[in-house]
Structure 1
Amino acid sequence: MIRNLTLAAGLALTGQASLAACAEQEGMCETASGGYHIELPQADNPPLVVFLHGYGGSGTGTMNNRGMVEPLLARGYAVMAPEGLERSNRPGVKSWNFYPGFGERDETAFLTEAVQDAGARFGIDTDRVVLGGFSAGAFMVYYLACAAPDTFSAYVPVSGGFWRPHPEACDGPVRLFHTHGWTDNVVPLEGRLLGGGRFHQGDIFAGLEIWRVANGCVDTKPSGFSTTGVFMRRYWGGCDEGSALEFALFPGGHTVPKGWADMMVDWYEGLPGG
């Protein structure tokens, strides 16, 4: 059972009523650096999944992805959808400051502030917070985890990674579960050129090598393989204590795939302290 929510006014782009709100309060939760939407499960002191929208998306749009949000709520997780800032050169288009020149806000500070605010307002367990994101939101997850891996308890990017030039190194250890579509042509596994060649999305497999080094893994070879429905999964063991690294491919394109939420929670809850 999900707590009754006051529906925010207006319609989503899909034409369905918006479910974005500040828990039972109408409108967005506001902090000093920005805002977020949140829904709560019928549980005290719940863990939290923070999920960052893609380029041009919104927190409202994230909360309207009921195929992702409702399974998380059913598993006892609160769901937070922060709002990116509008790009200065593209009014009305929101994204994240993960790349030089993409914005002024310190996103690590903002997201930490939002989680602490949710802890104070709603009793969120701030020691069990998973940061996920889709597309540009996943880019943000990658860069935040690289620079400040202790900020959240785990990282679960979908359809996004580093940009070229790839970081020379990341801090670690990190607990990260990356999910990507085999036929993704917006963020291809190999990356692609953008802005007439001014920007270059990175190679997902090169990013996984950076994470293996950060986690002190003894070999590049995966330690094991598994399948969950359509997802083909591989993981790396023999790494530093407190780390975890897994990669899941699915036969689809640029999307948050059906079944991702439950698979991700199963992974997280299987980690020590998850």
Structure 2
Amino acid sequence: MRVLLLLLSVMALTAVGQEKQCHGADRCNIGDRSYHIKLPDDWDGMTPLPVLMHFHGWGRQGDLIIQHQRISGHTRRRGVLLIAPNGRGATWDFWTSTSRDVPFAAAVIEDAAKRFPIDRDQIFVSGYSYGAAMAWRYACENGDGVAALLAISGTLAQTESCSQAPQEVRHVHGLADTVMDFPMGPSEDQTYPVKLWRDMFGCDEPKNEGAWQAVNWLTLDRHEWDCAKGAVTLDIHDGGHFIPHGWIGWQLDQLMGRPPQYP
């Protein structure tokens, strides 16, 4: 009997250890929900990790994100822990301030912090398409602990009223996007996609920083604002609905004080 009890105890401890270190294709379970993690290359197992929590697009799940070269291909080279929550029904509830996915995503970060050491000063929240709208919603309702919002081809209505905000906002959108249409402002105002944050941060007139490229086949036009609090950046390109090559890595490099590079 004692041998059996000892064996069961060892099996239980092993299961707990495996659950604690979930990553990659193995889901990290939290209640009846889950998320995925991608560890960076060459992590020493002790140094606190900057975090990028990325919300997947409609019809996807987090297992795609941790394999995506335009997302995890950049985080793993920069010492950043990638966290990819799974939306219910492969989508997100971002439509109102009562979103059930905001507390879920906040709980995901706390759960990940129990499994791996994280750098609380470098928590970045990102998303693509519907996931970008969810990232906006998260920042709008729970952004006080977020160093930067990195949104790709998806927003909320610019008339939303946010209770919280991240320290910085960076948004990229294609003028030819027909899935999550480029939110053009009155009189063809191309800076309208970030009006919500500009108003909230008390920003001045934009500075057009001109064209830049992470890769030579895609040119982006950058606008930046000086703000009373926070910072806002908008990148515009002539393309459609996609994650621009190198965009996430370029932003992470700049936010972490490194020379931008690709990949």
The TM-score by the shorter chain falls in which range?
A: 0.7 to 0.9
CA distance in 2, matches of 1:115, 1:268: 20
Q: What percentage of aligned pairs have identical amino acids?
A: 28
Q: Shift in Å at residue 168 of structure 1?
A: 4.7
Of residues 130, 133, 138, the one that matches 1:136 is: 130
CA distance in 2, matches of 1:33, 1:245: 36
Query: 1:210 and 2:209 equivalent?
Result: no
Q: What residue number does 1:263 align with?
A: 250
Query: 1:240 and 2:228 equivalent?
Result: yes
- In structure 2, the CA distance between the partners of 1:175 and 1:110, relative to structure 1 (3 Å rule), is same
Q: What residue number does 1:53 align with?
A: 56
How many equivalent residue pairs?
225
Q: What's the CA shift string for 1:123-174, capped at 9, x where partnerless?
A: 122331100000111111112222332032211010001148x315664464
TM-score normalised per structure 2: 0.77
Name the aligned partner's letter for residue 240 of structure 2. Answer: G
CA distance in 1, matches of 2:156, 2:182: 11
Confirm or deny: 8 A CA contact 2:183 2:193 kept in the other structure.
no
Q: What residue number does 1:23 align with?
A: 23
Partner secondary structure for residue 79 of structure 1: strand
Q: What's the CA shift string for 1:225-261, capped at 9, x where partnerless?
A: 1432122111001x123x0100011232111111112
Q: Shift in Å at residue 209 of structure 1?
A: 1.7
Of residues 92, 97, 102, the one that matches 2:93 is: 97
Query: 1:177 and 2:173 equivalent?
Result: no
Confirm or deny: 8 A CA contact 1:225 1:235 kept in the other structure.
yes
Q: Shift in Å at residue 49 of structure 1?
A: 0.6
- In structure 2, the CA distance between the partners of 1:223 and 1:108, relative to structure 1 (3 Å rule), is same
Query: 1:154 and 2:148 equivalent?
Result: yes
Q: Shift in Å at residue 115 of structure 1?
A: 1.0
Q: Shift in Å at residue 207 of structure 1?
A: 4.2
Query: 1:65 and 2:68 equivalent?
Result: yes
Confirm or deny: 8 A CA contact 1:236 1:245 kept in the other structure.
yes
**Structure 2 residue ranges without an equivalent (≥5):** 1-20, 214-218, 259-263
CA distance in 1, matches of 2:166, 2:111: 26
Confirm or deny: 8 A CA contact 1:170 1:210 kept in the other structure.
no
Confirm or deny: 8 A CA contact 2:34 2:86 kept in the other structure.
yes
Partner secondary structure for residue 155 of structure 2: coil
Query: 1:106 and 2:109 equivalent?
Result: no
1:3-14 alignment runs, 5 A limit: none
Confirm or deny: 8 A CA contact 2:53 2:83 kept in the other structure.
yes
Q: What's the CA shift string for 1:86-133, capped at 9, x where partnerless?
A: 2xxxxxxx11111149xx862222112111111111212233110000
TM-score normalised per structure 1: 0.74
**Greater shift after overlay, 255-264 or 147-156?**
147-156
Q: What's the CA shift string for 1:4-29, capped at 9, x where partnerless?
A: xxxxxxxxxxxxxxxxx9326x6200
Query: 1:40 and 2:74 equivalent?
Result: no
Confirm or deny: 8 A CA contact 1:173 1:214 kept in the other structure.
no
CA distance in 2, matches of 1:245, 1:132: 15
Q: Shift in Å at residue 268 of structure 1?
A: 1.5
Which is greater in Rg? 2
CA distance in 2, matches of 1:85, 1:45: 30
Confirm or deny: 8 A CA contact 2:67 2:73 kept in the other structure.
no
Q: What residue number does 1:5 align with?
A: none
CA distance in 1, matches of 2:210, 2:257: 14
Q: Shift in Å at residue 68 of structure 1?
A: 2.2
1:191-206 alignment runs, 5 A limit: 205-206=191-192
**Structure 1 residue ranges without an equivalent (≥5):** 1-20, 87-93, 192-202
Q: What residue number does 1:225 align with?
A: 209
Confirm or deny: 8 A CA contact 1:22 1:39 kept in the other structure.
no
Query: 1:189 and 2:178 equivalent?
Result: no
